[in-house]
Structure formats: structure tokens, C-alpha cells
């Protein structure tokens, strides 16, 4: 009997009491809450740091007051003074960007004005810019987003030039708009990664296995060596985990050495080659240099409070939350640009950063989505699900890139 009671006592000791279970559960809940609070604080601080970075980088534009941060502000609906031109009246409008022409009915995206918090963005004056460009070359160098901005600039000046005094010439990778009366050109050069790559063909550049020659840039650079204003960008085509690098020649690829290099290191290698070329070849008394920060995409609607799985398709309003930071831009890669430009500055060469990232991140409504020319036949399956073929990368015109050019205009006129 005593032995049986002893065994029962041992079993009772092994079974946890209700109070013990409750205590353990409460401890676990408290721990989970603490982890959630810490994670929330971390995310909030990260977003605040990202917002501060996007809006304060190089905020002083030349002669403008240091208190005038053109990159921090809000979008204001203004259907009196915007748009700065009409889509159908731009002689050289691109069908990829002509959203109204291809069926977009909500046109509010054309009427938003960027309003900095502490000052006003100088209003674009096409004649004043053309006078500044008299006998000069303004060249945009980069990918299709830089071409988007180039088309915007051409449209911005197009209306003040008589049809007999303007021309457009395409020659391979370079497109040249000429204002004949001013002997001024506004050009775009296709070089999506700045350095040489197997995506350099301006028409046939979609390849499954992207390869770059991170130490080779002369093939491109010789076309814009003597430009008076150079506007660079490169980001979109680097959006992958790693890139195959070729040490050798595309003419004799079998003799080359290949290595996969991760991001952002390979991006840094390419920008260093670009920076070294500028340092050696640019005439510092003549050429002014600009770098456009990354243009964000809007592929995930849940990032701005929309439905998970949706994107920019059917969006008609900007994000109104100040400091909103989606995931369509990479702070790591922007810090690489920051570092490379900083090194150039210490060596006496100034490249003006034009920070379009935060202001563009608000504009989830500004993309073509399905309202553009399609180069491939749209399938029945795609027609049933429009978001699957929506372009949430480029921008409708008139629209967001016009503001990028207003910022560039402010820089050029202050030089």
C-alpha cells in the first residue's frame, strides 16, 4: 500500500499543475509580444532612416538655399498649371508611354504637381532651357527609364519650336533630337548597365543569361565624351541576385574568363569603371554631370495597403502617407552610388545626384499598366487577368518624369 501511494505521488509530481501550464503560456505570450514590439520598432526605424536618406541626400542643388530641400515634399493636385504639355501634341511621343492614346480614361495622373515642403520647385521654362543649351549637347545615358525621361524632356521643349526647326535622328544606340535654331541637341544613348554587356543592342536586348564586362566602357563612352550635360542612370537591369562577369571579349567569348558575382558588389565594380572613365576623360571646365537615383517600381499593392497579389493596375491616386517606402528600390545599391560619387568628389569631380526615389515612390498611379503599345500579342488568359501584363516600371507621359526634368532644369539653370 505504501509503495502504491509512493508511485501515485511520483506521477503527480511529473504531471504539471494547471497553474504551471497557465504560467508557462503567459510567459510564452509575453515573449512573443516583446519580439513583435522589437520587430515593429526596427521596421519603423528602418523606414524612417530610408525616408531620411531618400529625401536628404545632396539636398542642396547648386545655388539654391540649403534650406530648400527639393526632394522632400508632397504631390498636390493642380489641374490649372499641369500638365506642362498635351500627350497628343508632342511630336515625338513614345507609344510605350502614351497611356491616354491607348485607352486610359482616368487622367488625374497628368495633373499632380510636386510641392517641396519649404520652397517651390522652379517652373519649367522651355525657352530658358533652350537658351542655356544653345550650341550644346544634353545627353541622357542609361536604360529605358532614362529614355522615359528623355522623351519627357523632348516633349517639354517641343511645343516652343517650329516644326521646320526641329528634327529627330536615330542611329543604333543613340537618338538625337535637334533644336536647329539653337543648334542644341537633346540625346539618349542606350547603355542599360553603363558598362558593356550582352544587352547593349537597343532593340534585341532581352537575353536569358545577362553578362557584363565590368571593366569595359569605352565602346559606349566615346559617343558622349564631348557632351556639355550628361545625365546617367542604371538600376533596373541590375535587379538580380548575381550577374555573370566576363573578363575577355564578346567577339571571342570562348577565350574569356567568366565568374558569377553577387549584388551589390558587381554593381559597385561597374560604377567604379564608370567613375574612373569620368575622372580621366571629362572636361571639368565644360561638362556638367548628373546621376538620377533609382526609379521605384510598384509591383506589390499590399505594400501601400492594397490587396496582396495586386499591383499598379487600376491605381488612380498617389500614396499620401509621408515617408512611404515600398520595396521597389534598393537602399543597398543606392548606398553604392553614394559611396562612388563621394569618392569622385574627393578627387575633384562633382556628379550632382538628382534624388527622384521618394517622390516617385508615392506615385503608384503613374505607370502605364496595360495602357500602352504591346509588342507581343496579348493572350486570352492575359486579357482575363490584366495585372499579369501590366507595366508597373515605366511612367505615363505627361507624368512623373516631367518632375524629374523640372529638378534637372533647376540644376542646369543654377549652373
Q: Which of 220, 298, 367, 394 is catalytic?
A: 394
144 is catalytic: yes
Tell me how crowded residue 63 is: count the other CB atoms within 10 A of its CB: 10
| SS3 letters across 123-168 | CCCHHHHHHHCCCCEEEEEECHHHHHHHHHHHHHHHCCCCHHHEEE
CB neighbours of 340 closer than 8 A, spacing ≥ 6? 268, 271, 272, 274, 275
* Residue with the three cell numbers 495585372: 387
CB 236 within 8 A of CB 145: yes
Residue 369 bears catalytic tag: no
Neighbours of 387 (CB within 10 A): 17
Among 207, 189, 188, 187, CA closest to 197: 207
Query: Cell numbers 536569358 label which residue?
Result: 208
Whole-number Å distance between alpha carbons of 124 and 226? 26
Q: Which residues contact 42 (CB under 8 A, 6 or more apart)?
A: none
- Which residue(s) pair with 36 in the sheet? none
Reply yes or no on whether 391 is catalytic.
yes
- Calpha distance 391→157 (Å, rounded): 26
Collapsed DSSP state (helix, strand, coil) of residue 211: strand
Handedness of CA 115, 235, 388, 150 (dihedral sign): positive
Q: Which of 94, 144, 199, 295 is catalytic?
A: 144
Residues 158, 91 contacting (CB under 8 angstroms): yes
Q: H or E segment at 322? A: none
Cell for 396? 505615363
Catalytic residue among 143, 228, 391, 402: 391
Active site residue ranges:
144, 391, 394
Amino acid at each position: 500500500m505504501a509503495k502504491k501511494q509512493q508511485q501515485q505521488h511520483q506521477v503527480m509530481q511529473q504531471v504539471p499543475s494547471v497553474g504551471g501550464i497557465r504560467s508557462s503560456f503567459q510567459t510564452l505570450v509575453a515573449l512573443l509580444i516583446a519580439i513583435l514590439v522589437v520587430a515593429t520598432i526596427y521596421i519603423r526605424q528602418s523606414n524612417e532612416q530610408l525616408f531620411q536618406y531618400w529625401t536628404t541626400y545632396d539636398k542642396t542643388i547648386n545655388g539654391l538655399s540649403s534650406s530648400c530641400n527639393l526632394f522632400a515634399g508632397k504631390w498636390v493636385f493642380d489641374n490649372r498649371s499641369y500638365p506642362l504639355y498635351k500627350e497628343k501634341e508632342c511630336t515625338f511621343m513614345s507609344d510605350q508611354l502614351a497611356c491616354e492614346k491607348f485607352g486610359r480614361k482616368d487622367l488625374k495622373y497628368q495633373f499632380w504637381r510636386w510641392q517641396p515642403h519649404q520652397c517651390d520647385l522652379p517652373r519649367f521654362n522651355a525657352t530658358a532651357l533652350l537658351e542655356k543649351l544653345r550650341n550644346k549637347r544634353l545627353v541622357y545615358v542609361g536604360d529605358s527609364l532614362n529614355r522615359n525621361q528623355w522623351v519627357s524632356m523632348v516633349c517639354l521643349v517641343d511645343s516652343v519650336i517650329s516644326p521646320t526647326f526641329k528634327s529627330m535622328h536615330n542611329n543604333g544606340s543613340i537618338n538625337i533630337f535637334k533644336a536647329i535654331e539653337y543648334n542644341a541637341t537633346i540625346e539618349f544613348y542606350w547603355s542599360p548597365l553603363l558598362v558593356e554587356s550582352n544587352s547593349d543592342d537597343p532593340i534585341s536586348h532581352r537575353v536569358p543569361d545577362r553578362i557584363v564586362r565590368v571593366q569595359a566602357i569605352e565602346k559606349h563612352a566615346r559617343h558622349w565624351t564631348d557632351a556639355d550635360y550628361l545625365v546617367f542612370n542604371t538600376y533596373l537591369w541590375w535587379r538580380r541576385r548575381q550577374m555573370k562577369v566576363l573578363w575577355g571579349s564578346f567577339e571571342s567569348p570562348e577565350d574569356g574568363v567568366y565568374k558569377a558575382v553577387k549584388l551589390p558588389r558587381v554593381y559597385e565594380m561597374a560604377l567604379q569603371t564608370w567613375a574612373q572613365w569620368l575622372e580621366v576623360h571629362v572636361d571639368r571646365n565644360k561638362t556638367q554631370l548628373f546621376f538620377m537615383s533609382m526609379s521605384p517600381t510598384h509591383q506589390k499593392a499590399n505594400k501601400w495597403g492594397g490587396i496582396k497579389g495586386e499591383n499598379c493596375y487600376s491605381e488612380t491616386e498617389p500614396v499620401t502617407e509621408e515617408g512611404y517606402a515600398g520595396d521597389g528600390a534598393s537602399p543597398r545599391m543606392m548606398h553604392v552610388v553614394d559611396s562612388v560619387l563621394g569618392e569622385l568628389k574627393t578627387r575633384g569631380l562633382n556628379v550632382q545626384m538628382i534624388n527622384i526615389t521618394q517622390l516617385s515612390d508615392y506615385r503608384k498611379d503613374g505607370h502605364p499598366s496595360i495602357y500602352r503599345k504591346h509588342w507581343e500579342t496579348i493572350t486570352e488568359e492575359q486579357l482575363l487577368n490584366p495585372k499579369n501584363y501590366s507595366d508597373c516600371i515605366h511612367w505615363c507621359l505627361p507624368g512623373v518624369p516631367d518632375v524629374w526634368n523640372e529638378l534637372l532644369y533647376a540644376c542646369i539653370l543654377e549652373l
